[in-house]
């Protein structure tokens, strides 16, 4: 999951500097992004990934938050990510507003789904000096 988080975090930070995994710090400045990753194992090496991206803002006007979330959608929708550790294909599945108990807070949630293929990278084996194997 670490490699998946690194990739997602990098893509989201290319859009906005305040990005958090699962939970933001209490002193964070608005607006900010919180994301979660869920992986479902289907069979063999097939995995389904669900990426929830929540946008938070305390501006009375929701337009800046909508523009931020649109930038995220344009960056991640139909995205193909391939590196040494994984191959991931994600698409925007749903987007909707979320009600917050604090009426000053505006929230939007975008859910991306797709396929994930993790690669098994052989670990380097270190042998001690004088070892034949």
pLDDT number for residue 108 = 98
The per-residue pLDDT for range 44-72, each reduced to its tens digit, is: 778 999 999 999 999 999 999 999 999 99
- Kindly write down the DSSP assignment for every residue of 101-120, as one continuous string: SSTT-EEEEEEEEEEEEE--
The per-residue pLDDT for range 84-113, each reduced to its tens digit, is: 889 999 999 999 999 999 999 999 999 999
- Closest Cα partner for 38 from 12, 7, 4? 4
What pTM, to 2 d.p., does this model score?
0.85
- Rounded to an integer, the average pLDDT of 3-24 is 95
Task: Walk me through the domains of the chain, giving residue ranges and CATH numbers.
Answer: 2-118 (3.30.2000.30)
For residue 43, name the pLDDT band (cuts at 50, 70, 90): confident
């Amino acid at each position: 999951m670490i490699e998946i988080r690194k990739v997602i975090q990098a893509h989201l930070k290319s859009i906005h500097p305040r990005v958090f995994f699962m939970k933001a710090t209490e002193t964070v400045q608005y607006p900010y992004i919180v994301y979660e990753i869920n992986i479902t194992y289907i069979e063999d090496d097939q995995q389904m990934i669900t990426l929830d991206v929540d946008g938070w803002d305390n501006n009375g006007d929701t337009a800046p938050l909508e523009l931020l979330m649109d930038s995220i959608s344009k960056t991640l929708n139909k995205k193909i990510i391939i590196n040494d550790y994984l191959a991931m294909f994600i698409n925007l599945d749903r987007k909707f507003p979320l009600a917050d108990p604090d009426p000053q807070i505006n929230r939007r949630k975008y859910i991306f789904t797709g396929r994930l293929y993790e690669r098994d990278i052989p670990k380097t084996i270190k042998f001690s000096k004088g070892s034949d194997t």
